[in-house]
Amino acid sequence: MNAFKVPILKVGDVLIVSIQSDIDDRTVIEMQQRVLEQIERTGARSLLIDISLLEMVDSFTGRMLSDIAAMASIMDSETVVVGIQPAVAITLVELGLELKGVSTALDVDDGLRILKERMRERQRRHLYSAKENAAAG
Amino acid sequence: MPPDNQTPANTPDPRTIQLLTERENEILEAWIENRLQSSDFRETLISGEELRSDSQTFLRAFITAIANSNVEEMRGKEFNAIRRLLLEISEARAAQAFSPSETAFYVFSLKESLLPFLRDEYKNDPELLVDEVNKVSKALDKLGSFIFVSTIKNRERVIRQQQQDMLELSTPVVQIWDRIICLPLIGTLDSRRTQLMMERLLERIVKTRAEIAILDITGVPTVDTQVANYLIKTVTAVRLLGSTCIITGVGPAIAQTIVHLGIDLTGIITRNQLSDGIRLAFELTRQRVIQLNSHAESDASAEKGENDERVQSAHP
């Protein structure tokens, strides 16, 4: 069996997954497994998947992407997919995979910015509910 | 069976060739006369001199061609020359707005003018006359249909070229601000155009890192289910890239059609005017356009130290 080829990097609070080449189904499944393990281990609150080097996508990979996002969300982690190429976007749309519930960004820069905003928003929400609780208590 | 055993079945008799060569000028005159008299000669489209020079070149090439080859086949070096000539003529005629049938009839009309000469020559040999008439007609028929086909082909080429040009023209993607691009759509949308439009838009988004893409459909007369579907697909694809798509120029007619067709546009940002779309794009990218006071006014108010309101609005 080939070595696992998808690097998963932790930068600050963000877990960055960079898919380097067109990947097969087994790698995608393994990636899902490892990403979720890393989220658990590191407690990362944000997940950024960069697929700018992916030139082709099939329905399986497309579904896996939205699955990972949904799973990460259950584990209280925000997901943003960045760098989707035009051809890939067209394929996904034609396949009816709209990646609903997944945030997207043009590149890693934008993706990190979006994640930061989301975190800030979340903190504000937490603060607000904490205040409410305090007021109620 | 050919009357002259020395010539192959489908090559005209040497006597015919000789006749044509000798009386070429007479035939030419008869032909041009015939053309000028005929009802479909249009002076406004072609001058007498041009007709004469075309006809002369054609007649000479025709004689050379049939002298050396098989009229059934119409292949070979001899015919290449005349084919090239016909292509030129057909192109010129098409440019002069002659219809394909008029151009073909021009070639067929040579028959009318040429046959009397054959009749004179073979007065005493009706069998040979029929044979020779047959061969010459065959050759001219082939050339006539060839010119017809090539005229149509020329036309098709022009149409294809224009279609291509129109396709190119019809999908301009313009950058209207930093990271805001706009694609104004004009005319009826079909699947090919929409496909091209989608690809262009997505490519430009990646290239310019546009956060907002405005799809302006002011110039689109009607929207049907298919077009609406394409628009939805485009919006989804733009979202996948990581930018936001705003559809503007949705007038009353299109709004009504969309609702009547039961198309669900929830989740798609639509605006009435392009300007509303641009305003929204600024809002989404956290930018604002402010009105600057003129220098005279701000100077005056600064001097007087009054009219604070105006100063404040310029410096919020």
Q: What is the pLDDT of residues B217-247, one digit of tens each?
A: 888 888 888 888 888 889 999 999 989 999 9
B142 touches chain A (CB under 8 A): no
Task: Give the DSSP letter of residue B43.
Answer: T
State residue A2's pLDDT score.
58
Quick check: helix, strand or coil at residue B185?
Answer: strand
The tens digit of pLDDT for each residue in A52-104 reads: 888 888 888 888 888 898 898 888 888 999 999 999 999 999 888 888 878 89
Residues 6 or more apart whose Cβ sits within 8 Å of residue A6: A17, A18, A19, A20, A23, A27, A30, A31, A34
State residue B33's pLDDT score.
83
Exposure on the CB side of residue B231, measured as CA atoms within 13 A: 30
Distance from CA of B242 to the nearest CA of A (A): 4
ipTM given for this complex = 0.79
Given B210, B238, B242, which is nearest A105 (Cβ)?
B242
Distance from CA of A91 to the nearest CA of B (A): 9
State residue B161's pLDDT score.
84
State residue B79's pLDDT score.
73
Give the Cα separation of B54 and A88 in Å (integer): 57
Give the Cα separation of A68 and B25 in Å (integer): 88
Q: Could you tell me which chain A residue has the CA closest to the CA of B242? A: A105
Pick the CATH number of A8-136 from 3.30.750.24, 2.40.160.210, 3.30.450.20, 3.50.50.60: 3.30.750.24
Query: Where exactly are the structural domains of chain B?
Result: 14-167, 174-284, 288-316
**A-to-B residue pairs, Cβ atoms closer than 8 angstroms:** 54
Instruction: Using DSSP bridges, classify how beta strands B212-219 and B180-186 pair: parallel, antiparallel or unpaired.
Output: parallel
Give the Cα separation of B257 and B234 in Å (integer): 19
- Show which of residues 111-130 on chain A sit within 8 Å of chain B, judged by CB atoms: 111
Quick check: helix, strand or coil at residue B109?
Answer: helix
The CATH number of the structural domain formed by B14-167 is 1.10.490.70
State residue B314's pLDDT score.
39
Give the Cα separation of A6 and B220 in Å (integer): 46
Distance from CA of A89 to the nearest CA of B (A): 5
Give the Cα separation of A76 and B157 in Å (integer): 61
Structure tokens at A57: 């996508």
State residue A26's pLDDT score.
86
**Residue numbers in chain B where pLDDT is lower than 70:** 1-10, 39-45, 69-78, 168-170, 294-316
Residue with the bigger pLDDT between A19 and B309: it is A19
A4 pLDDT above the threshold of 80? no
State residue A16's pLDDT score.
93
| The CATH number of domain B174-284 is 3.90.1170.50 | no
| Cα distances (angstroms) measured from residue A32 to each of A37, A44, A62, A88, B122 | 9, 15, 12, 20, 94
Nearest C-alpha neighbor of B211 from the set B267, B288, B285, B269: B285
Asked whether the beta carbons of residue A92 and residue B240 sit closer than 8 angstroms, the reply is yes
Mean of per-residue pLDDT scores for chain A? 87
Arithmetic mean of pLDDT, A122-135: 83
- Chain B residues with CB under 8 Å of A105 CB are 242
Structure tokens at B78: 């001899």
Distance from CA of B153 to the nearest CA of A (A): 35
